[in-house]
Amino acid sequence: MKVPFVDLHAQYVSIKPEVDAAIAAVIHESGFVRSRFVDEFEASWAQTLGVKHCVSCANGTDALYIAMRGLGLKPGDEVITTAHSWIATSETITQAGGKVVFCDTEEETFTIDPAQIAAKISPRTVGIIPVHLYGQSADMDAVMALARRNNLWVIEDCAQSHLATYKGQMLGTFGHAATFSFYPGKNLGAMGDAGCLVTNDSMLAEWCALFARHGGKGDHVMEGINSRLDGMQAAILSTKLPHLATWTVQRQDHAAEYGRGLATLPAVRRPVVRPDCSHVYHLYVIRTTRRDELKIHLQANNIATVLNYPRALPFYPAYRYLGHRPEEFPNAFQHQQEILSLPLYPEMRADALAYVIDSIREFFASPRV
Ligand SMILES: *Cc1c(COP(=O)(O)O)cnc(C)c1O
Q: What are phi and psi of 33, to 5 degrees?
A: -135, 135
**Is residue 333 pLDDT above 80, yes or no?**
yes
**At 94, is the secondary structure helix, strand, or coil?**
helix
**26 Cα: distance to centroid of ligand 1 (angstroms):** 26
Residue 329 is predicted with a pLDDT of 98
Q: Considering the chain, what percentage of its residues have pLDDT values greater than 90? A: 97
Mutate which of 157, 182, 237, 313 to test ligand 1's pocket (most atoms within 8 Å of Cβ)? Answer: 157
Binned at pLDDT 50, 70 and 90, residue 369 comes out as low
**90 Cα: distance to centroid of ligand 1 (angstroms):** 11
**Is residue 272 pLDDT above 90, yes or no?**
yes
- Ligand 1 nearest-atom number relative to CA 63: 9
Residue 116 is predicted with a pLDDT of 98
What does the pLDDT average to over 344-364? 98
Residue 218 is predicted with a pLDDT of 79
If you average pLDDT over every residue of the chain, what do you get?
97
Binned at pLDDT 50, 70 and 90, residue 366 comes out as confident
Binned at pLDDT 50, 70 and 90, residue 219 comes out as confident
- Ligand 1 nearest-atom number relative to CA 282: 15
**332 Cα: distance to centroid of ligand 1 (angstroms):** 19
Residue 251 is predicted with a pLDDT of 98
Distance from C-alpha of 120 to C-alpha of 100, rounded to nearest angstrom? 11
311 near 199, Cβ under 8 Å? no
Q: Which residues line ligand 1 (CB under 6 A)?
A: 59-61, 85-86, 88-89, 131, 157, 159-160, 181, 183, 193, 195
**Is residue 128 pLDDT above 90, yes or no?**
yes
What is the domain partition of the chain in residue ranges? 8-103+110-242, 243-365
**Closest Cα to atom 2, ligand 1: which residue?**
159
What does the pLDDT average to over 340-359? 98
**86 Cα: distance to centroid of ligand 1 (angstroms):** 7
Contacts of 146 (CB under 8 A, 6+ apart): 114, 117, 118, 121, 128, 152
Q: Could you name the CATH architecture of 243-365?
A: Alpha-Beta Complex (3.90)
**88 Cα: distance to centroid of ligand 1 (angstroms):** 6
**Is residue 367 pLDDT above 80, yes or no?**
no
Given its phi and psi angles, is residue 19 left (phi above 0), alpha (psi -120 to 50 degrees) or beta?
A: alpha
Question: 275-315: per-residue pLDDT in tens?
Answer: 999 999 999 999 999 999 999 999 999 999 999 999 999 99
DSSP codes joined into one string, 129-191: E-B-GGG----HHHHHHHHHHHT-EEEEE-TT-TT-EETTEETTSSSSEEEEE--TTSSS--S
What top-level class would CATH report for the domain 8-103+110-242? alpha beta
pTM higher than 0.85 for the full model?
yes
Residue 48 is predicted with a pLDDT of 98
- Ligand 1 nearest-atom number relative to CA 186: 1
**At 301, is the secondary structure helix, strand, or coil?**
coil
Binned at pLDDT 50, 70 and 90, residue 368 comes out as low
Distance from C-alpha of 48 to C-alpha of 15, rounded to nearest angstrom? 20
What does the pLDDT average to over 120-143? 98
Q: What are phi and psi of 57, to 5 degrees?
A: -155, -175
